[in-house]
Amino acid sequence: MPQLLLELFSEEIPARMQANAARDLERMARERLEADGLGDARIHTYAGPRRLTLVADNLPAAQADRSEELKGPKVGAPPQAMEGFLRKVGLTQSDLTERDGVWFATVSSKGKPTADVIAAMVEEIVRNFPWPKSMKWGTCSLRWVRPLQRILCVFDGAVVPIDIEGIKSGNLTEGHRFMGTEQGPFAVTDFTSYALGLDRRFVVLEADERRKRILEGAKAVCAAKGLELVEDEGLLEEVAGLAEWPVPILGDMDPSFLDLPPEVIRTSMRTHQKYFAVRVPLDLRLAPHFVVVANISATDGGKAIAAGNARVLSARLNDARFFWDEDRKPGKFELWQEKLAGVTFHAQLGSMAQRVERIKALSKSVAVAFGEDPVDAEFAAGLAKADLVSAMVGEFPELQGIMGAYYAEQFGRQITSAIRDHYKPQGRSDELPSTRLACAVAVADKFDSLVSFFHIGEKPTGSKDPFALRRAALGIVRILIETGTRLSVLTLLTDEVVARSVPGANALALKDGVPVTSLEVLEFLADRLKVQLRDQGKRHDLVDAVFALGDDDLVRIVARVEALDKFLATDDGANLLAGYKRAANILRSEEKKAPLPVFAKPMRMPGAPAAEITLIAVLHDVAPKVEAALETEDFAAAMTALAALRQPVDTFFDDVMVNSTVATERDNRLRLLMQVRDLMGRVADFSQVSG
């Protein structure tokens, strides 16, 4: 079957856009081919620094011929209708067939040559490609990520003629910009000749292959010196998009820079220069080297490249050393803390200094829950954001916290752990802060974000979460749950805490005496918890059932959920749930007819059926047990106690008619059901449990 080869050859495409571009190209082509009845094509795309390539195999030479039946006017319809229909289909009445009193026309169309479909498809792709940022160049009115230089479009060995804003298609492409003796354009006939031609001209077409060569080559140049590469997935991805012919080269770093913090060296290497760091094997120490990935095999074996890069790195690290020395001068922390007053955190939420004051106050309260000294927590929180205005963090924002910890060394490991780790965890796979004090400050920091942004109505919506509030909430959930720390969210988020989050704001909205913002934050945390539990394979309806009780202690909520989960997995649990639902249904339908009787303890009525007497007795026995278990938060025991209800409840429904004609009997039985419902409701809202 014929093959299509398309290459969009441009000036250098940003590395970060290449992977998506390959996917978008594949998607746009597939959608178009499918729509044109050529959906059997096998499509593969490639992206690199200067080219997007698509190869589609298994294409027919032309679309299949099509024939479709069109419904026309009814027999006996006015002649104008028939004339109109014949004009539309381009036939005469003798070509039509009649069925059930309606005229039908069979219209057949010849399939277009695939090359025509391709020409239209390429134009559509080039004109509508979803680059995150695009531009115009020269006098051309097309937009592309950078100037589009060539369109190579070959179908079944022949050029598909296309002309988009003066860019004409052809069968030519180019190899590496600098390497090889065969410079200049060369012609191809199909993918095999294309791939071979590029290979001979020092272009690695596949991104995976470039990544592989870089990783293997970088490891090899390190191993040759008895060293080890510090792997970095993100950096690997990026450098693989910066070279058509990647060549890792080991360079030397002036060893005197090794007295800088390793994070600084690595960050400077990665962000400014896109170098990999190198370490001493079996050791965490960095080695005074780096790996740069060049785009050529240089004529001198890379010596000049290594030397040039080493000099640039020295200049960069000299800057870093200047920041490091400057930042460690005495009195800097005080200066930074003052400076935070001039840094706006958010137009409505005041300065960074005001935010720090809020985190300090919250840290004091949260520390108690973590069993930590509130004074230490407040002190650490007071220092936690200072490094944001340090010279080093100004240069490398990703070192926030890390630099603060270095600069605060004199305050001891507890305090520095809190400064360094209070941004953690940064997501579901990141580690928790390393100490309980750090956990306390981390939780306080995140609560301040949530309360503040919620209070000014900046809640995450859909995919929009500009202030990373979901991550903050997940951080709180993870820290509290994984450390088993008990904290009442609503007790923490008092009116005062909420009011303070927006400097100079007006009165608070309250609901049942609790700030609405605090309730919203609690609900948001419960949502995150639900997501977290669902990811762990727990039933989220159980979270709803427990959360409906109004609990605001995440650890207790999880304990209840777990106990409930186990209970419902037992035979007793499943049956009791059914009994509960039956009781609740009866009560609900009775309530529709007439108000339920005012609750009072069910009485042993004379002549009552045995099942009724038994249930009253068992409830009398079980209720205090459930209460006692809840008192000690032994939810498993509470469930076990409830399990004793299963048999009597089942028997009651089997033997007793609730809707007795005797009003007092009916009321007594309804009260009995109310007692069952309410006692079970002390453990969870079973009406929210599915099943």
Strands 167-170 vs 148-155: parallel, antiparallel or unpaired:
parallel
**What is the rounded CA–CA span in Å between residue 386 and residue 75?**
87
- String of contacts with another protein for each residue 235-264, x by CB under 8 A: -------xx---------------------
Residues linked to residue 109 through DSSP beta bridges, in sequence order: 66
Residue 153 backbone dihedrals phi, psi, to 5 degrees: -140, 105
Give 86 or 291: the residue with its C-beta nearer to another protein: 291
- Our CB check for another protein shows the closer of 312 and 637 to be 312
Smallest distance from the beta carbon of 135 to another protein, in angstroms? 4
* Upstream peptide bond of 425 is cis (omega within 30 degrees of 0): yes
Residue in 20, 318, 585, 659 binding another protein, rule: CB under 8 A: 318
Residue 578 touching another protein (CB under 8 A): no
| The only residue of 110, 158, 322, 430 in contact with another protein, by rule CB under 8 A | 322
| Burial profile 317-330: b = 16 or more Cβ within 10 angstroms, e = fewer | beebbebbeebeee
| Stretch 37-66: interaction string toward another protein, x if CB under 8 A | ------------x-----------------
Nearer to another protein, 138 or 607 (CB): 138
User: Residues in contact with another protein, total (CB under 8 A)?
Assistant: 47
* Three-state secondary structure of 92-160: CHHHCEEECCEEEEEEEECCCEHHHHHHHHHHHHHHHCCCCCCECCCCCCCCECCCEEEEEEEECCEEC
Site string for another protein, 266-285 (x = CB under 8 A): -------x-x----------
| Closer residue to another protein, CB minimum distance, 234 or 691 | 234
Q: Considering the complex, what minimum distance in angstroms separates the CB of residue 392 from another protein?
A: 16
Question: 45: exposed, middle or buried (C-beta count within 10 Å: 0-12, 13-18, 19+)?
Answer: buried
Whole-angstrom CA distances from 242 to 14, 17, 230, 389, 485 are: 8, 11, 19, 33, 47
Judged by beta carbon, residue 347 or residue 598, the one nearer another protein is 347
Q: Compare residues 7 and 378 and give the one whose CB is closer to another protein.
A: 7
Q: Is there binding between residue 672 and another protein (CB under 8 A)?
A: no
Least distance (Å) between residue 118 CB and another protein: 25
Strand ranges inside 327-432, DSSP E: 344-346, 350-351
Write the DSSP string, 675-689. HHHHHHHTT--GGGS
Nearer to another protein, 319 or 572 (CB): 319
- Distance (Å, whole) CA 453 – CA 37: 51
Site string for another protein, 296-315 (x = CB under 8 A): x-xxx---xx-xxx-xxxxx
Residues with Cβ within 8 Å of residue 390, at least 6 apart in sequence: 323, 327, 332, 336, 403, 404, 407
The CB-of-149 to another protein minimum distance in angstroms stands at: 8
Verify binding: residue 294, another protein, rule CB under 8 A: yes
- Residue whose pair of structure tokens reads 């390429």 in the numeric block: 122
Question: What is the distance of C-alpha 271 from the center of its chain?
Answer: 23
Q: Is 184 exposed, middle or buried (0-12, 13-18, 19+ CB in 10 A)?
A: exposed
**Residue 313 vs 689, nearer CB to another protein:** 313
Q: Which is nearer to another protein, 102 or 298 (CB)?
A: 298
Residue ranges in 109-148 that form contacts with another protein under rule CB under 8 A: 133-139, 145-147
Candidates 175-183, 190-198, 213-221, 479-487 — which segment interacts with another protein by CB under 8 A?
175-183
CA distance linking residue 350 with residue 386, whole number of Å = 16
- Out of 237, 319, 357, 565, the residue judged to bind another protein by CB under 8 A: 319
State the minimum distance, in angstroms, from the CB of residue 169 to another protein: 16
> Minimal distance in Å, beta carbon 343 to another protein?
6
Residue 296 is encoded by which pair of tokens?
């050529």
d(CA 303, CA 247): 12
Q: How many residues does the chain have?
A: 691
For another protein, the closer CB: 267 or 518: 267
C-beta closer to another protein: residue 11 or 496: 11
Residue 6 DSSP one-character state: E
Question: Of 493-522, which residues contact another protein (CB under 8 A)?
Answer: none
To the nearest whole angstrom, how small is the minimum distance from the Cβ of residue 275 to another protein?
A: 8
Q: Give whichever of 14 and 262 is closer to another protein, judged by the CB atom.
A: 14
CA atoms within 13 A on the CB side of 294: 19
3-state secondary structure of 277: strand
Q: Which of 207, 236, 265, 292 binds another protein (CB under 8 A)?
A: 292
Between 149 and 660, CB nearer to another protein: 149
Q: Does 11 bind another protein (CB under 8 A)?
A: yes
Do 249 and 281 meet the contact criterion of CB atoms below 8 Å apart? Answer: no
From the list 510, 425, 500, the residue with the least C-alpha distance to 468 is 425
Please tell me whether residue 87 binds another protein under the rule CB under 8 A.
no
Print the binding letters for residues 341-370 with another protein: x by CB under 8 A, - otherwise: -xxx--------------------------
Asked if 375 interacts with another protein (CB under 8 A), we say no
Binding residues vs another protein (CB under 8 A): 11-12, 14-16, 49, 133-139, 145-147, 149, 177-179, 242-243, 273, 275, 292, 294-296, 298-300, 304-305, 307-309, 311-315, 318-319, 322, 342-344
